[in-house]
């Protein structure tokens, strides 16, 4: 495409099929303890 | 829902429900601002009329590219693919799998902004956790975690190194029952570094999968806000110890973690100062009520947002620095189910005090209305836990229409309670800063991937 470059595809939608195992890290335990960002966590199933 | 923004000179569009992210040229960015789905076959005359500065043929070309994305499910997607009942049922299972273990309600620093009232959590008495209580906390999480295998325990305080004996015995005990219960414990510790001697450094680097090292950045900032009990600066005591720990860390995680307040809003300078000590840095806004002198105020928002962008500009040229809050794993991050429910406080994540009392998270400790139970008598208030389990981006009204909902997943219940008196009502300022951080993170990724300059 000339005007648009896609940085990321529909990964969120695709994740609905296999998601919900609950094994991933609790976000608040990682490096913050006050503010939240969940999207920087790792998926344990990848 | 599509969110468009400019940051670091990048024009970007986030297709919220699919997770797709696009980098646009300026013409397409302006055009997309005018689009209401479903898109017509060709660029309508009224849209062209609103953008007279652009060549109509170029607008038509961009229009067709946008239409192509929509046809591929990469633009204007709905969130009807999410099974909300399944997601709610996962949450309501209330499987506890992460502990914030308050091994010490005592501290050897007197940080001015401390949410834990310099260690005692407002109780007026300072104490450390005995091993029997810690053991019961481990038994509690093993029993409550059901079929979840990975269990996280963060040694927290106050200052956890003041209870190192309990820390060591707890790790030893948990490791001794892993196989029997088919669990995998991951230990982390959050420390101010004052008691980091060679023995503690060696132990932490061997046993802890992550070490969170508290330091506020520049010497003068740190020493202003994080004095010792005697009122002296702590920087020169702590930094050599952190440097030693980091040098022996190997491939294990660590974060130098600072707090910024209203007293020092130029926090990009503190990130730089921390990055000179170690590459993994987390600096974040203080938690406080608006009338606290150190607390950030709504009127500070433009300055704080500009500071995040200034930091992102710096990091653009310093990829060796890993700033935690600009990390967003677009392609392989958590699944959408995880992203509905956020931190899990009160259901999958709880805090246990030195007395053995259970609270939804470390920030609720001392709030009697939110006491969930005790590890000593196996009490656990399922009804209260269920209120937390019911929190997600659809049940928090302000999150439903927010473009960042799948990235922040609903924010912090404790901040919401502190500022708004309601765990369901997001803290507006926290949301504004979170959205700005995400825009910076996405723009940085676009630049680093070569899709923008």
Maximum alpha-carbon separation in chain A: 43
Going by DSSP bridges, is the β-strand pair B127-128/B104-105 parallel, antiparallel, or unpaired? antiparallel
Instruction: Report the residue of chain B nearest A42, measured CA to CA.
Output: B333
Contacting residues for B258 by C-beta, under 8 A, at least 6 apart: B214, B215, B216, B217, B222, B267, B270, B271, B274, B281, B282, B283, B284
pLDDT in tens, B138-183: 999 999 999 999 999 999 999 999 999 999 999 999 999 999 999 9
CA distance B205 to chain A (A): 16
Mutate to test the interface with B, among A33, A41, A46 (most CBs of B within 10 A): A33
- Whether the per-residue pLDDT at B122 is higher than 90: the answer is no
Q: Which residue has the higher pLDDT, B266 or B391?
A: B266
pLDDT above 70 coverage of chain B, percent: 99
Cross-chain Cβ contact B337/A39 below 8 Å: no
Cα gap B266→B112, rounded to integer Å: 18
Give the CA-trace dihedral at B420, B290, B359, B402, to 10 degrees: 50
Kindly give the pairing relationship between strand B322-323 and strand B357-359: unpaired
Is B346:B413 a contact under the CB 8 Å cutoff? Answer: yes
Looking at residue B115, its pLDDT comes to 86
Paired with B24 in beta bridges are: A4, B11
Residues A38, B340: Cα–Cα separation, whole Å: 10
**A-contacting residues in B 224-253 (Cβ below 8 Å):** none
pLDDT at A34 over 60: no
Residue of chain A with shortest Cα separation from B100: A29
Say whether B324 and A36 touch across the interface (CB within 8 A).
no
Return the beta strands (E) in B19-156 as ranges.
20-24, 98-102, 104-105, 127-128, 150-156
Confidence of residue B217 (pLDDT cuts 50, 70, 90): very high
For the stretch B346-365, pLDDT in tens is 999 999 999 999 999 999 99
Tokens standing for residue B291: 């009338």
B188 three-class SS: strand
Q: Given its phi and psi angles, is residue B238 left (phi above 0), alpha (psi -120 to 50 degrees) or beta?
A: alpha
pLDDT above 90 (res B249): yes
Using an 8 Å Cβ cutoff, are B406 and B442 in contact?
no
At B61 the pLDDT is 98
| Cβ-Cβ contacts under 8 Å, B361 against chain A | 28
Does B338 contact chain A (CB < 8 Å)?
Answer: yes
Of A12, A22, A31, the CB nearest to B336: A12
**Token representation of residue B187:** 């230990």
Please classify residue B64 by burial: count the beta carbons closer than 10 Å to its beta carbon, then call 0-12 exposed, 13-18 middle and 19+ buried.
middle
Phi, psi of B369 (to 5 degrees): -65, -20
Among the partner-chain residues A2, A9, A40, the one whose CB lies closest to the CB of B329 is: A40
3-state SS track over B90-102: HHHCCCCCEEEEE
**E strand or H helix that includes residue B379:** strand B379-380
Task: List b or e across B385-409, with b for residues whose CB sees 16 or more CB atoms inside 10 angstroms.
Answer: bebbbebbbbbbebbeebbbbbbbb
Strands (E), B119-197: 127-128, 150-156, 184-191
Q: Which residues of A touch B340 (CB under 8 A)?
A: none
* HEC per residue, B192-208: CCCCCCHHHHHHHHHHC
- Does the pLDDT at position A32 exceed 70? no
Question: Which residue has better confidence, B394 or B90?
Answer: B394
A46: pLDDT confidence band, cut at 50, 70 and 90?
low
Nearest CA to CA, how far is A4 from chain B (Å)?
A: 5
| Residue A45 clears pLDDT 80, i.e. is over it | no
- Cα–Cα separations (whole angstroms), residue B309 to A12, B127, B303, B330, B450: 26, 42, 10, 20, 19
Mutual angle of helices B268-275 and B301-316, in 10-degree steps: 30
Within B182-262, where are the H helices? 198-207, 219-225, 235-247
The two three-digit tokens of residue B49, written as one number: 């009329």
CB A35 within 8 A of CB B416: no
* pLDDT higher than 70, residue A36: no
**B136 — pLDDT class (breaks 50, 70, 90):** very high
Structure tokens at B203: 């132990």
Phi, psi of B321 (to 5 degrees): -90, 130
The CA distances from residue B193 to B105, B160, B226, in Å, are: 16, 10, 12
- pLDDT score of B20 more than 80: yes
Which of B92, B209, B338, B347 to mutate to probe the A interface, most A CBs <10 Å?
A: B338
Contact A38, B408 (CB under 8 A): yes
């Amino acid at each position: 495409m000339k005007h648009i470059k896609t940085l990321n595809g529909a990964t969120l939608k695709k994740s609905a099929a296999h998601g919900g195992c609950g094994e991933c890290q609790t976000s608040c335990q990682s490096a913050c303890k006050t503010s939240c960002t969940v999207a920087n966590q790792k998926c344990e199933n990848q | 829902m599509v969110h468009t923004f400019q940051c670091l000179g990048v024009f970007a569009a986030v297709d919220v429900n699919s997770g797709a992210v696009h980098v646009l040229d300026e013409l397409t960015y302006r055009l997309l601002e005018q689009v209401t789905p479903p898109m017509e076959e060709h660029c309508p005359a009224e849209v062209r009329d609103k953008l007279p500065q652009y060549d109509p043929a170029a607008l038509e070309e961009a229009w067709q590219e946008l239409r192509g994305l929509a046809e591929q499910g990469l633009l204007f997607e709905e969130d009807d693919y999410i099974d909300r009942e399944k997601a709610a049922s996962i949450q309501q299972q209330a499987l506890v799998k992460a502990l914030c273990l308050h091994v010490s309600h005592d501290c050897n620093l007197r940080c001015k902004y401390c949410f834990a009232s310099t260690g005692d959590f407002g109780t007026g008495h300072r104490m450390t956790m005995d091993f029997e209580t810690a053991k019961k906390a481990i038994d509690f999480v093993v029993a409550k975690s059901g079929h979840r295998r990975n269990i996280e325990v963060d040694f927290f305080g106050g200052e956890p190194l003041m209870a190192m004996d309990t820390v060591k015995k707890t790790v030893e005990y948990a490791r001794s029952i892993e196989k029997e219960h088919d669990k995998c414990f991951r230990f982390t510790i959050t420390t101010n570094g004052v008691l980091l001697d060679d023995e503690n450094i060696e132990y932490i680097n061997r046993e802890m999968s992550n070490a969170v090292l508290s330091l506020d950045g520049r010497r003068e900032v740190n020493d202003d806000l994080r004095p010792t009990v005697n009122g002296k600066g702590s920087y020169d005591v702590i930094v050599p110890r952190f440097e030693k720990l980091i040098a022996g860390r190997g491939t294990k995680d660590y974060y130098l973690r600072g707090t910024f307040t209203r007293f020092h809003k130029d926090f990009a300078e503190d990130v730089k100062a921390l990055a000179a000590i170690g590459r993994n840095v987390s600096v974040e806004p203080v938690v406080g009520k608006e009338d606290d002198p150190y607390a950030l105020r709504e009127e500070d928002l433009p300055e704080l947002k500009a500071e995040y962008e200034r930091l992102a500009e710096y990091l653009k040229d310093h990829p060796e620095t890993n700033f935690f809050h600009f990390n967003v794993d677009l392609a392989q991050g958590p699944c959408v189910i995880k992203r509905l429910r956020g931190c899990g406080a009160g259901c999958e994540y709880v805090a246990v005090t030195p007395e053995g009392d259970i609270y939804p998270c470390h920030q609720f400790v001392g709030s009697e209305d939110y006491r969930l139970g005790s590890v000593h008598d196996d009490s656990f208030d399922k009804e209260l836990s269920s209120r937390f389990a019911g929190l997600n981006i659809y049940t928090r009204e302000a999150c439903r229409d927010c473009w960042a909902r799948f990235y922040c997943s609903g924010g912090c219940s404790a901040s919401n309670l502190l500022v708004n008196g309601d765990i369901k009502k997001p803290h507006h300022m926290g949301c504004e800063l979170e959205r700005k951080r995400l825009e910076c993170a996405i723009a940085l990724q676009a630049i680093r991937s070569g899709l923008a300059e």
